[in-house]
Amino acid sequence: MAHHHHGTITAGPLREGEATRLSVTLALALLATVVEGVGGWLAHSLALLSDAGHMLADAGAIALSLIALRIGGRPADARRTYGYYRLEILAALLNGAVLIAIAVGIVVEAWQRLFHPHPVHVRAVVLLALVGIALNAAGMWLTHARDSSMNLRSTFLHLAGDLLNSVGVLASAAIIAWTGRLEADPIISFVIAGTIVWSAVRLCREAVDVLLEGMPAHLDFSEVNQALGAVPGVAAVHDLHVWTITSGLVALSCHIVVNCEGPDCRSHDEILTDARQVLRDKFRIEHTTIQFESESYQHDDVVH
């Protein structure tokens, strides 16, 4: 039986469709970034510029998802045995750092504008915010699916957050139009900077979890341990490690002690097939390395 050591969990055509959707969504996000960025600059609206910053953040996150999809199918080479998966994680950290820098810039500028308000071209702001909302809605429609993957789901959430920001920009323009209070612009900018930091922290936290090789958040160590222990023919499980190679691709290694008494002794292959099946079906763990030991095998290292 051939061992597939790749995390391409879904079938080819499905992933291709997903990649196409994400590519179109990425194009829309970049278009929205440029339109709102240039427009915000010309209309003197910091809220619009902030919205463009958040849109850029989303574009970065979508690009990362695309890279992950593209890399997922690539064979590992001799030096980088996990393929180029870890590149995605480093890019996520970089992305997070850039976002925090953008957010800090917005906060500094907004603070100055609170005391020295800039006149804002309300009509232009309304028009551009509506364009932003339309592009976001299109992206959300593209990434909305009932049984969508983690990539599409996270993209949908990013865009939903951005849509709310664009609505905030509209609200600030309305307040300025009706009350003439120019402070509305920097105040909304503060709120948007907050959402950018939130996105960045989420990105970085996921990346750091992966780099620390921590137990994936959605899995319970003792449950995995018990499930393996329950496989017929397994006497004990030790040295169990579960970690993430890249978002959505989990790896596991462990030692299994087999008890073999009487005629109904199961072969290692049978036990291995069962163990892999359990891990795949119950925990979606694809990448497994299992070492077998007999009960008589003595450990040199007693540390378990």
Q: Which residue has the higher pLDDT, 299 or 236?
A: 236
Which pLDDT belongs to residue 264? 67
Residue 4 is assigned to a structural domain of this protein:
no
Do 19 and 95 have their domain in common?
yes
CA pair distance 36, 51, nearest whole angstrom: 7
Give the pLDDT score at 92.
78
Distance between CA atoms of residues 200 and 194, nearest Å: 10
The CATH code of the domain that includes 243 is 3.30.70.1350
Q: Per-residue pLDDT tens for 80-134? A: 455 566 666 777 788 888 889 989 999 999 999 989 888 888 899 999 999 999 9
- Using a 10 angstrom Cβ sphere, with 0-12 exposed, 13-18 middle and 19 or more buried, the burial of residue 65 is buried
Q: What is the mean predicted confidence (pLDDT) over 142-149?
A: 72
The pLDDT assigned to 259 comes to: 77
Contact between 91 and 98 (Cβ < 8 Å): no
84 in a domain, yes or no? yes
Mean model confidence pLDDT for the chain: 81
Regarding predicted confidence, which is higher, 47 or 294? 47
Q: Are 53 and 128 in a shared domain?
A: yes
The answer to whether residues 229 and 93 belong to one domain is no
The CA dihedral of 175, 180, 183, 185, to the nearest 10 degrees, is 50
Which one of 163, 186, 211 terminates a domain? 211
- CA count, 13 A, side-chain hemisphere, 74: 14
- Give backbone dihedrals phi and psi of 204, rounded to 5 degrees, phi first: -65, -40
Judgement on whether residues 203 and 253 belong to the same structural domain of the protein: no
In a domain, 3, yes or no: no
> How many domains, in total, are found in the chain?
2
pLDDT at 303 over 70: no
Q: Which residues contact 228 (CB under 8 A, 6 or more apart)?
A: 234, 237, 240, 254, 256, 275, 278, 279
Closest-CA residue to 54 (of 136, 150, 137): 136
Q: Mean per-residue pLDDT for 133-160?
A: 82
The yes-or-no verdict on residue 76 having pLDDT over 70 is no
pLDDT band at 1 (very low <50, low <70, confident <90, very high): very low
Domain membership of residue 237 (yes or no) is yes
Strand partners, 289: 253
How many other CB atoms sit within 10 Å of the CB of residue 272? 19
Residue 66 confidence (pLDDT) above 60: yes
CATH number, domain with residue 172: 1.20.1510.10
Amino acid at site 46: L
pTM: 0.66
3-state secondary structure of 256: strand
* Domain assignment of residue 276, given as a range: 221-294
Share of the chain above pLDDT 90, in %: 29
Residue with tokens 């950290």: 93
Which position has the higher pLDDT, 150 or 244? 244
More confident residue, 153 or 47: 47
Q: How many CA atoms within 13 Å lie on the side-chain side of 238?
A: 12
pLDDT the model gives residue 147: 61
Q: Is 232 found in the same domain as 196?
A: no
Say yes or no: 163 and 238 in one domain. Answer: no
